[in-house]
Structure 1
Amino acid sequence: MSVATTRRSVLMGALGLAGAMTSFGAAYAETTRLRLAWWGGNERTRRTQEVLRLYQQRVNGVELAGEVSNSEYFTKLATQVVGRSAPDVFQLEPNSFADFVKRDCVLALDGLMPNPIDAAGISRAMLDLCAVDGKVWGIPQALNSFAMMYDKDAFATAGVAPPDAQTSWDDYADRMVELTKALNRRRYWGSCDASGYSYAFQVWLRQRGRDLFTADQALGFGKDDVAEWFAYWDKLRQRGGCVPADVAALSPDSTINLMPLIQGKAATSFAFSNQIVGMQATTPVQLAMTMFPNGGAGAKPGQFYRPASSWSIYAQSPNPEAAARFVNFFVSDPEAAKILGVERGVPMSPALRASILPTLRPVERATVEYIDAIADKVGPYPPPPPKGSQQFGQLMKRAADAVAFNSASISDSAATLMKDAHSIL
């Protein structure tokens, strides 16, 4: 089997593979060729490539070509779907899942289970996280939730208590201002600016009994909610507790190498629990994690368990069964699970989870312990987002940046976001 990995961004440049096809093993005259696409940083790509090599040792006559992206991943995938050139197998996540299913580009997997996809180790409840309209469209790789990552030494040096599950949004803001002043480092702040992070906004909404989207595929919030969210971050920005606009603009999402925490510009970043593995591999500072701030007395749970990522098959793939066999291997093979660890999240299968625990490093065990620790603090999984919702994150970031750069008022930016959000649904 031949394995090739390509990348159209700085990631593979960092690995010394920019602009190149990397091949492993022998090529076969009669081969089944599969293209695979995923997003992620250096650590994820390293582990994924190792699993591809393992698959090469097990299966002859298959050629795998990996396509790796980061913040441009979903834009690129959507373009490939329109051009009918999407990869055979691609990675999705909750905010994008229903959107791509409703584009009629994802293959329903019910007919491929239990053979070649044996999902017996994954509970029905977990499979339902990848179900739309009663059909399964993806196989969940692992479980995660939202998590705030922070620099342990920064808080210790500043003499400020780090955030924990009992920290409210108001408490968090005060601590970030206190830490920034106590450390007094040049171009260093307590918090990242999460005003443009739709997933942080979702947690904040859910704590108030609302959500990004409703079960009937409409927006689940109003202009006043957006304005209050933007005002919180604008006030924190003016108090000096979070990074300024020029720094925030370069951190568009949860891309690890762009996080202010990883760039040495902030003590905290809003992220996903599994990302601590890739983040710790990227920075020398000692990281810890906790939940996002809570909504205060009487608030509802904001966080929820979610499939960190899932594997889906392109509806137009010429080799759906070969693609299904690869997906089955990736999510259920014990050796593959040990290689992947918890970088993509905690394995869905209890048996796989138990099998990898003895092999995990401390930072990896922290992910498993975190998922276990928040069990009584998470709420129900949200309804599938509507078609077009994948663009919402970009719209929110644009509106948030307008406030941060003082190019629009909070009220006007909130109104613009509402108008733009309605237009994509």
Structure 2
Amino acid sequence: MKQTSVWISSLVVALSLAACSSNTGEKGGGNASSESPATSNNAGGPKEVALKIGLPGAYDVTKKEIIDGFIAKHPHIKVEVNDSPWGDFVSKVATQIAGNTAPDLWFQENAVILGYGKRGVAEDLSSYIKRDLKEDDYISALYAARTPDGKVYGIPHGINPAALAFNKKVFGNANVPLPTDNWTFQDLIETAKKLSKKDEVYGLIGNAGITQGWFPFIKMAGGQALDETKTKSMFHDPKTIAGLKAMQDGVKGGYISTLEFNRAQGGDLPALANGKGAMYILQYSNQTTMNKSFPDADWDVVKMPKSVDGKRYVPMVTNSWLIYSKAKPEAKEAAWAFMKYYLSEEAQTVVANSGSSIPVNKKALKELEKNTSKPLNKKAFTDGIAEAGTTLDENASWNEWRGVAQPIIGDIYSGNVSAEAGAQEIDKKVQAVLDQNK
């Protein structure tokens, strides 16, 4: 009887050790254990670790299902969620950074993250990614927060790319063929002219902002805002100027809507839904508003038209997660474990189903394409960013140089200054900002 008892005790210990061993890996995109020496005790099992996660916009922006899923898979990580409305969070985290009390992990706009990296606030994730992730599992937007010298200061919270939306009824009434994924910049301009009826219907709903307005135009014209190093202004480039001029010529010519017309319709999206505009450069997140506010509108999307150089550029807006560089080593590893979970197919499918942004995990992207809500051609977004996703020439001073460029862009759009003269003025001001931030 005594021998039996000893044998049973030995078996229990063996099974216990096996269970601990099997629970050290994380289900997701990585190929390495989510635990490290910093988060494991001497007996081989994980030790308790505290992790503070900052959530701007709270669970309206980040699905609680993802946070709960991570906690369930990592019971040894004691998660404290610091959430508040976006504006309040931004103000609070600035104070926390100054006082070295910031969360271990949070997310903000990608350009802000790049600024944090330059200031030494954000941890360089390149070694983590090399250690644990398989690049082939993700689209290139995984590296939205990578600098020209190879540092990676964040991973995407979600991707919000652009596509060309169109109102089918307007095209049908005009007996004009619908757009296709093979359209060029010239196709966009010529079709906009055909569909326009002065002060009644515009071929293209215009926008003076960066993401859905002037940046797509300069890219379709083959230009750029900054050079590849993100240290030189390219607003003097004839191709960039050509893009701004094409936008201005469209407004003057009556085939791109004025901002006053858009406001009279109640905004860009109502103008598209109600057939006052035939086409619109639409961000993915806009589809939630279209489906909720205009469920009967007959519309779809195609990929962004190819530029004059034959290449396609798909502008995308990204919020990115960062790890606080001054967090404790074990908290950094716990934060990275969260990032790996966030990039897993399980969590990325939740991101896909949210409707507000697109995941970077390729398997989750395929799930998104099965969704039958409008727009039907979701591949215009998913294949678009996989093929040609591009950030908005973001760098650490993005908010500053964009801030000096935007008022002049507005004057170009409204015809108060020529595209050529406005571009030269922007070039000088943007370069001055870049030089000050070297």
- Give the alignment partner of residue 138 of structure 1, picking from 141, 144, 154: 154
What displacement does 1:214 show?
1.7
- Taking the aligned partners of 1:159 and 1:388, their CA distance within structure 2 comes to 47
- Taking the aligned partners of 2:317 and 2:363, their CA distance within structure 1 comes to 17
> How many residue pairs are counted as aligned between the two chains?
374
The 8 Å contact of residues 94 and 309 in structure 1, kept in 2 or not, is answered as: yes
RMSD over aligned Cα, in angstroms? 4.5
Q: Does 1:235 align with 2:249?
A: yes
Q: Deviations over 1:297-316 (max 9, x none)?
A: xx231415968553222334
The 8 Å contact of residues 226 and 235 in structure 2, kept in 1 or not, is answered as: yes
The 8 Å contact of residues 36 and 87 in structure 1, kept in 2 or not, is answered as: no
- Give the alignment partner of residue 311 of structure 1, picking from 309, 321, 328: 321
What displacement does 1:222 show?
0.7
Q: Deviations over 1:349-386 (max 9, x none)?
A: 344445x35863344773246533787xx559689754
- Taking the aligned partners of 1:302 and 1:317, their CA distance within structure 2 comes to 40
Q: Does 1:164 align with 2:183?
A: no
- Give the alignment partner of residue 63 of structure 1, picking from 80, 85, 104: 80
Q: Secondary structure at the match of 1:366?
A: coil
With structure 1 as the length reference, what TM-score do the two structures score?
0.68
Q: Secondary structure at the match of 1:387?
A: coil
What displacement does 1:405 show?
4.1
1:366–1:281: structure 2 CA closer, same or farther, 3 Å change rule?
A: farther
1:77–1:96: structure 2 CA closer, same or farther, 3 Å change rule?
A: farther
For structure 1, which runs of at least 5 residues remain unmatched after alignment?
Answer: 1-29, 252-256
Q: Does 1:418 align with 2:427?
A: yes
1:407–1:81: structure 2 CA closer, same or farther, 3 Å change rule?
A: farther
Q: Deviations over 1:54-106 (max 9, x none)?
A: 4566566423233454xx79986996687567665344566665444223221
- Who is 1:266 aligned against? 277
Matching residue's letter, 1:419 = K
Q: Does 1:45 align with 2:82?
A: no
Matching residue's letter, 1:323 = A
What displacement does 1:149 show?
1.8
- Who is 1:36 aligned against? 55
- Taking the aligned partners of 1:73 and 1:401, their CA distance within structure 2 comes to 29
Question: Which structure's CA Rg is the greater one?
Answer: 2
What displacement does 1:164 show?
2.8
1:111–1:278: structure 2 CA closer, same or farther, 3 Å change rule?
A: farther
Q: Secondary structure at the match of 1:160?
A: coil
- Who is 1:215 aligned against? 228
With structure 2 as the length reference, what TM-score do the two structures score?
0.66
- Who is 1:291 aligned against? 303
- Taking the aligned partners of 1:131 and 1:273, their CA distance within structure 2 comes to 23
1:190–1:51: structure 2 CA closer, same or farther, 3 Å change rule?
A: farther
Matching residue's letter, 2:246 = Y
- Taking the aligned partners of 1:411 and 1:78, their CA distance within structure 2 comes to 41
1:300–1:74: structure 2 CA closer, same or farther, 3 Å change rule?
A: farther
For structure 2, which runs of at least 5 residues remain unmatched after alignment?
Answer: 1-48
- Taking the aligned partners of 2:156 and 2:116, their CA distance within structure 1 comes to 15
The 8 Å contact of residues 166 and 299 in structure 2, kept in 1 or not, is answered as: yes
